Amino acid sequence: MKARYLIPLVVFLLMIGLFGVGLKLDPSKVPSPLIDKPAPQFSLPDLHDREKLVDTAVLREHKVSLFNVWASWCVACRQEHPFLMELARSGDVPIYGLNYKDKRPDAINWLNRLGDPYTASAFDEEGRVGIDWGVYGVPETFVVDSKGVIRYKQIGPLTEQAWQETILPLINQIRAEEG
Amino acid sequence: MKHLTVLAALCLLVFWGSVSVARIDTFVFDNPQDEQRFKKLSAELRCLVCQNQNLADSNAELAIDLRRELYSMIKAGKSDGEILDFMVARYGDFVLYRPPVKPTTYMLWVGPFILFVIGAVALVMFVRRRSDDVLPGDELSTEEQSRLQGLLEKQPAGKRKQR
């Protein structure tokens, strides 16, 4: 008899639990189907030197590298930029950039003014490579291992918290795997 | 009255302006079937930037790019399946407004029916229990019935209590 009256309470608590979880989820973060898949091939002109090509092979030159999609028109990119500079200064992981749907002078200007954390930036004017990489909200950062496999995708700015909690442990794990 | 007319005209003007700006890209198709396919596919694919809009309705940069991509794939003679695979490979099942039935989406497809069945069973149990509440022993005997009748008649009209 008593148990019967507890049912609404239990249902209520379950719903509170579900709503609580739902509040924490960010619906704008859609899991990428590219995780653990080979990075999509690209070959694009270098942002600074249109004669030079940047292609997927550069990502396989290191045990692990970051591939950061950015644009000078992107507000959140500016927000994450100081952190990228900090990472670049530490020299821990090479950062490659994909300058997405930008104008060359704007992008170069942006880097000159704020600093250039990128080992190299590929210039994706049309956003065609962005489509292949499933980019839908710049900035996005991919963690790529030495086999050229995408291991993780950060949607939105790369923050200190995301770095410490998720990306750095993953990088250490990848390094350990590759010995 | 005149003010109202002016206001209405202004509203119309503003609205008209937004409508004419909304769709700028024009695609030319070889045949009406291709155009139909473009319309159908762009209505079935989700824009990931503004998630409650499809590619046809959205004006986000990405949606414009993907419409162009869709157009060139149709032009190149790709089948609907190939085009959907292309999108899913890049953006995941989420890009489809009708996700495929597979283990990770079972809950999505079956969940509402499970809830419905639970609700129906609860309803049936509830109704059954209520009808069980009146047991044969609970009914009034003839004596009791006439006493009740007498009591009810003694009460002034309007003050009668229910039950």
Q: If we measure between CA atoms, which residue out of B67, B94, B25, B91 comes closest to residue A137?
A: B91
Lowest-confidence segment of A43-57, A70-84, B129-143 by average pLDDT: B129-143
Kindly determine whether residue B92 and residue A133, on different chains, have CB atoms separated by under 8 Å.
no
Query: What confidence score (pLDDT) does residue B21 get?
Result: 47
Domain, as residue range, for A67: 34-178
The closest CB to that of B91, out of A27, A126, A134, belongs to A134
CATH of the domain at A114: 3.40.30.10
Query: What confidence score (pLDDT) does residue B154 get?
Result: 82
* Per-residue H/E/C for chain B: CHHHHHHHHHHHHHHHHHHHHHCCCCCCCCCHHHHHHHHHHHHHEECCCCCCCECCCCCCHHHHHHHHHHHHHHHCCCCHHHHHHHHHHHHCHHHECCCCCCHHHHHHHHHHHHHHHHHHHHHHHHHHHHHHCCCHHHCCCHHHHHHHHHHHHHCCCCCCCCC
Would you say how long chain A is, in residues?
179
Mutate to test the interface with A, among B61, B84, B96, B104 (most CBs of A within 10 A): B61
Kindly determine whether residue A30 and residue B91, on different chains, have CB atoms separated by under 8 Å.
yes
- Is the minimum CB–CB distance between A132 and chain B shorter than 8 Å? yes
What lies within 8 Å, CB to CB, of B29 at 6+ separation is B35, B38, B74, B75
Cβ atoms of A68 and A96 closer than 8 Å: yes
Whether the per-residue pLDDT at A105 is higher than 50: the answer is yes
CA B97 – CA B53 distance, rounded (Å): 10
Q: Structural domain tally of chain A? A: 1
**Residue A110 C-beta-side C-alpha neighbours within 13 Å:** 22
Q: What are the tokens at A156?
A: 């939105």
Residue A79 domain-assigned (yes or no): yes
Residue A141 domain-assigned (yes or no): yes
CA distances from B100 to A59, A81, B55, B73 (A): 33, 39, 19, 22
Residue A42 domain-assigned (yes or no): yes
Q: What are the tokens at A54?
A: 């940047």
Q: Is A40 helix (H, G, I), strand (E, B) or coil?
A: coil
What lies within 8 Å, CB to CB, of A156 at 6+ separation is A29, A76, A137, A139, A140
CA A48 – CA A104 distance, rounded (Å): 8
Burial of B60 (0-12, 13-18, 19+ CB in 10 A): middle
- Is the minimum CB–CB distance between B107 and chain A shorter than 8 Å? no
**Residue A20 C-beta-side C-alpha neighbours within 13 Å:** 6
pLDDT tens track, chain B, 163 positions: 566 666 666 555 555 554 444 455 678 888 889 999 999 999 999 988 888 889 988 888 889 999 999 999 999 989 999 999 999 999 988 899 888 888 888 888 999 999 999 999 999 998 988 876 666 666 778 888 888 888 888 866 555 555 5
Residue A14 domain-assigned (yes or no): no
Neighbour count for residue A130 (Cβ, 10 Å): 25
Q: If we measure between CA atoms, which residue out of A105, A165, A174 comes closest to residue A144?
A: A174
Beta partners for A150?
Answer: A144
Cβ atoms of B93 and B109 closer than 8 Å: no
Residue A8 domain-assigned (yes or no): no
Residue A20 domain-assigned (yes or no): no
CA torsion sign, A139 to A142 to A148 to A150? Answer: negative
Residue A67 domain-assigned (yes or no): yes
* Chain B residues closer than 8 Å to A140 by CB: none
pLDDT tens readout for residues A109-148: 999 999 999 999 999 999 999 999 999 988 999 999 999 9
Cβ atoms of A139 and A77 closer than 8 Å: yes
pLDDT tens readout for residues A1-22: 677 788 899 999 999 999 999 8
Mode of pairing for the β-strands spanning A95-100 and A43-45 = unpaired
Cβ atoms of B83 and B70 closer than 8 Å: yes
Nearest chain A Cα to B92, which residue? Answer: A33
Residue A76 domain-assigned (yes or no): yes
- Is the minimum CB–CB distance between B66 and chain A shorter than 8 Å? yes
Burial of B10 (0-12, 13-18, 19+ CB in 10 A): exposed
